[in-house]
Structure 1
């Protein structure tokens, strides 16, 4: 359904606003709608975690893991934390787009002096150290409605008794769900035997080309028969141990060094995608038949066929 990110200074009243929103959305009688609040307190993240940058990084990772676990299309997830780093808010925005849910940011606005006063008055053992609170206020990166990861943005002054709950509700229940972009889509992984298949198929095709050229003059369309590394890669039950690759060759003799050079270029491009663990841009065929056809097309282009 939606991800609502609450942002603001420490001890600015964010938990109060989270509780108000939770009660408002929970009043909806629809059984399909779930409302969940995630906070530092829920995750047992102590205020002392913000005294040290390494502990704070661990705490932020814990928060992000919990968000990833609970974000869903049937849930309004309210993140009650400082979320004071714009890079982290962008990370949450990308996660929401990946999950296909709406987003909204609630900025609880309070003055530094008011936050210091409230922090000093706390008697629940959740007080920030004075120097930690000052450092967090100084590093705070204010949300902006001008950037996509903070929009729509609802700013609530600390002395406002009631946030604009109806407008927030409209944004998270009827607003536009932005589709995943390239940066948020999960790219398919290359299979574990991709390198083995790549080397075998390209070597076999080069060898078949040299053998065919030695047997008869080349030029024009040709069909090469390759031994399959994986018999299941061919759909024909009677010819399950071979692959057939069609390509067009120039009317001249080809040298082994020329073919090996083109093979190295083709393998290098595919090896990069395998090493990165994804198919990078677009969809890549990793089976023997797909590699063979792609290499044949690459050879035709590299050999100048049809130019």
Structure 2
């Protein structure tokens, strides 16, 4: 089922919008909606976002959790910063492999607005100002011209969430087709067993004909076996 990727500055209203979407889809589609995010992993933001390796590990954990929850029945909302375009591309590859649609909801605010919202939070929920500023500076805004950022819904703080348009993008649009990079490749050709049986029969018939002419030597038997193994190996490759 579809994946909704939230995106925006820290304290830009992403979680509030994710909850609005959850309520709407559970009431309108009667489907189960999973919100996956920093909160669900118990992330201590000021510790994680101060360490690039810890942040990388959290992103990997979020992606793995999304992959586990994507199925044919439920809707998944990834509620995190998702500020790196390379990471959004990885999520796009994930949904191509799962063959399900997705969309991006961009909660657009100014640096000043988000910073004010951050300082108005309880102290335990605030970003340290230096970490907040660093995340804003590193933010890579989504671009609808990129296939991994499309369809893109940009929402300002006072906008009404376009839930019907988002629903249409998820349920009235075909999933992106898989390609070689997102599909598992077969280990051998589809007719491998047929070819193996045919080669084996040919070798056995050759040995039988040789027996009728003269008694085969040990070298003849070993040579036939080696030929069979070589041909089988070539067919498997």
- Higher RCO (Cα < 8 Å, 6 or more apart): 2
Query: CA offsets per residue over residues 250-274 of structure 1, 9 Å max, x none?
Result: xxxxxxxxxxxxxxxxxxxxxxxxx
Question: Structure 1 residues 39-48 or 136-145, which shifts more?
Answer: 39-48
Query: Deviation at 1:188?
Result: 4.2
User: TM-score, length-normalised on structure 1?
Assistant: 0.62
| Other-structure match for 1:5 | 5
Structure 2 matches for 1:76-155, cutoff 5 A? Answer: 76-123=75-122, 125-155=124-154
| Other-structure match for 2:59 | 60
In structure 2, the gaps of 5 or more residues are 189-222
1:165 equivalent to 2:163? Answer yes
The one of 210, 229, 233 aligned to 1:291: 233
Question: Structure 1 residues 14-23 or 62-71, which shifts more?
Answer: 62-71
| Other-structure match for 2:23 | 23
Question: Within 2, Cα distance between the matches of 1:57 and 1:152?
Answer: 26
Q: How many residues align?
A: 206
Question: Within 2, Cα distance between the matches of 1:290 and 1:152?
Answer: 49
The one of 35, 38, 52 aligned to 2:36: 38
SS in 2 for 1:178: coil
CA gap of 1:184–1:129, structure 2 versus 1, over 3 A, is same
Q: 1:34 touches 1:74 (CA, 8 Å); kept in 2? A: yes
In structure 1, the gaps of 5 or more residues are 191-224, 229-241, 244-286, 296-307
CA gap of 1:169–1:52, structure 2 versus 1, over 3 A, is same
CA gap of 1:2–1:290, structure 2 versus 1, over 3 A, is farther
Question: Within 1, Cα distance between the matches of 2:102 and 2:29?
Answer: 22
Question: Within 1, Cα distance between the matches of 2:99 and 2:73?
Answer: 11
Higher helix share: 2
Q: 1:102 touches 1:177 (CA, 8 Å); kept in 2? A: yes
Q: RMSD of aligned C-alpha atoms? A: 2.6
Question: Within 1, Cα distance between the matches of 2:5 and 2:67?
Answer: 13
SS in 1 for 2:49: helix
Question: Within 2, Cα distance between the matches of 1:132 and 1:115?
Answer: 13
| Other-structure match for 1:175 | 173
CA gap of 1:125–1:99, structure 2 versus 1, over 3 A, is same
Question: Within 2, Cα distance between the matches of 1:5 and 1:288?
Answer: 51
Q: 1:107 touches 1:155 (CA, 8 Å); kept in 2? A: yes
Structure 2 matches for 1:125-274, cutoff 5 A? Answer: 125-160=124-159, 162-188=160-186, 226-227=224-225, 243=228
Q: 1:4 touches 1:104 (CA, 8 Å); kept in 2? A: yes
SS in 1 for 2:39: coil
Question: Within 2, Cα distance between the matches of 1:46 and 1:9?
Answer: 17
Query: Deviation at 1:186?
Result: 2.1
CA gap of 1:294–1:27, structure 2 versus 1, over 3 A, is closer
Query: Deviation at 1:292?
Result: 3.7
SS in 2 for 1:51: coil
Query: Deviation at 1:159?
Result: 2.0
Which protein shows a greater Rg? 1
Query: Deviation at 1:187?
Result: 3.0
Question: Within 1, Cα distance between the matches of 2:133 and 2:123?
Answer: 20
